[in-house]
A = this chain, B = another copy of it.
Amino acid sequence: MAKDTLLVLSGGMDSTTMLWDYADTIAAAVTFQYGSNHNRREAECARWNCERLGIRWIEIDLEFMGRYFKSSLLSGADEIPEGHYADDNMRSTVVPFRNGIMLAVAAGLAESMELKKVMIANHSGDHAIYPDCRPEFVRSMGAAISDGTYEHLELLAPYTDMTKGEIALRGKNLGVDYSHTYSCYKGGEHHCGKCGTCVERREALEFAGIVLDND
């Protein structure tokens, strides 16, 4: 299979599963720093997994987002709300048009590297709260990327209709070691278990029957 794809890799469960799932078509993975509490630990996990698979890993700093953008995700751990993604108070964790920005940069980077496809691991559990994770956004952003690049790059989002639990089950079957994934919005050494992403993570791991010590 052609290695013609650039993956947007956060270092969390979903994109790490996708890295292992599509490793035979992924030429490189890009991880973005945007000044959030948890970016550093996520990036370490992203690098770890790319090294295991022998896939080129690129880290890009979007430091202007931490400076100009409004989100509790960029404001220190104390500001992070606790609860489920679907809760109203989770809206403060939205980083405006974050996926739009990451996909746009990934598209330009992919065309610079003479790759043909960009891949992102949005899934059905993100849809309620984050507009830039929904299927209609992925479709229109895919059209913009195709229209705006010379080689009409393609945007792939193969987990769009899967739940996080289904992704975890797929990763378990692929042998993904989820102790080398990170996503807690508070950014501590261990997952806090209470913020939106931690609640979703624990439910997904439980669904897949995966037990992690000290997560």
Q: Could you tell me the dominant secondary structure of chain A's interface residues? A: helix
Bound Cα distance A62, B68 (Å): 14
Residues of chain A from 130 to 172 with CB closer than 8 A to chain B in the complex: 131-132, 134, 136-137, 139-141, 143-150
Instruction: Give A34's nearest chain B residue, CB to CB.
Output: B108
Residues of chain A from 85 to 129 with CB closer than 8 A to chain B in the complex: 91, 94-101, 103-105, 107-109, 111-112
Bound Cα distance A90, B111 (Å): 17
CB of A61 within 8 Å of the partner chain: yes
Q: How large is the interface on A (under 10, 10 to 19, 20 to 34, 35 or more residues)?
A: 35 or more
Task: Please state if B69 and A100 are interface contacts (CB–CB under 8 Å).
Answer: no
Q: How far is the CB of A34 from chain B (nearest CB, A)?
A: 10
Chain B residues whose C-beta falls within 8 Å of the C-beta of A144 in the assembled complex: 100, 137, 140-141, 143-144
Task: Please state if B96 and A100 are interface contacts (CB–CB under 8 Å).
Answer: no
CB of A70 within 8 Å of the partner chain: yes
Bound Cα distance A192, B30 (Å): 37
User: Are A131 and B149 also in contact (CB < 8 A) when A97-B104, A140-B140 are?
Assistant: yes
User: Are A69 and B112 also in contact (CB < 8 A) when A64-B105, A131-B148, A150-B94 are?
Assistant: yes
Chain B residues whose C-beta falls within 8 Å of the C-beta of A108 in the assembled complex: 65, 69, 95-98, 100-101
CB of A58 within 8 Å of the partner chain: yes
Task: Please state if A107 and B100 are interface contacts (CB–CB under 8 Å).
Answer: yes
Task: Please state if A141 and B148 are interface contacts (CB–CB under 8 Å).
Answer: yes
User: Are A140 and B134 also in contact (CB < 8 A) when A96-B107, A105-B64, A108-B96 are?
Assistant: no
